[in-house]
Amino acid sequence: MDGADADPVALARLLELAVAALHETRPEQLWSLAFTELLDALDADLAVRKAEEWSPGEGTVRLWTPEGPAHHLLGPEQLDVIRTGYPFVDHYAAGHPLEPLTARATAGAHAWRHAAPAGRLRDALGSTDILGLPLPRPEKGAIHGCLLHRTGRRPFTPAHLAYARRAQPVIAAVEAHASHLRAWRTTPGGPEAATVREERAAALGLTPREITVLALLARAVPERQCTAPRASHPAQSIATSPTSTASSGRGTGSPRCCGRGRRACC
């Protein structure tokens, strides 16, 4: 690891983050937990979350500082500088491995000192170095992940990169967990149905991780059996359906093919 390894105390806190994430019921809170830890461990000043395609004036930019969420702190021009994704988006889009890198290493030391995009980042945000932490890319999806900025200070060290490499699978798992919780909360039925699901899960004492596992099962079983979701499994009553387990059929309802035919999907 370039002669350096991550701080063992920071790695221990990374494990604590993973445990805390598994018990967090609010998807929006998961990224606050993650960025609080990343900003501290990497001694960074600003964290940026990229979760969609960016273009000038378009695309959500989520920001955190060590003091907390900072979405309101930057103006449109500063946000557009961030949306360039320089120098990481072009690098990863070209097919390079999705591994943590610093801006200085990605652009090259000379370009990072003299290139116009780097100058705009320094002028707008004071960025003296950025650490890019990419996450697994959805099929045909946008490059996404985290950008950690240092402002007016020394660049990130090999030890920081070693930590980022260890943190990457944990942050990817946090993102997947948050995505599953969001999907569980926003399945058809609207807010009233979501409230019923949450109340039922609470009454059963299910943890957030157990909820996401049930939700994944509820999606996978009908796909495997080539049935419509309502006829597939009692997990649906908690995972997706606001109706009772009796009305969901407890697996005894007449299977309804998904439309692709059993040979196509089984």
The residue with greater pLDDT, 138 or 136, is 136
Under CATH, to which class is 8-183 assigned?
alpha beta
Residue 192: pLDDT above 90? no
Residue 257 has a pLDDT of 52
Q: Is the dihedral of CA 17, 194, 238, 206 positive or negative?
A: positive
The residue with greater pLDDT, 242 or 122, is 122
What average pLDDT does range 21-41 have in this prediction?
89
**What average pLDDT does the chain have?**
80
d(CA 264, CA 266): 6
Distance of CA 132 to the CA centre of its chain: 14
The residue with greater pLDDT, 106 or 198, is 106
Residue 64: pLDDT above 50? yes
Domain with CATH 3.30.450.270 in the chain: 8-183
Distance of CA 186 to the CA centre of its chain: 17
The predicted model scores a pTM of: 0.74
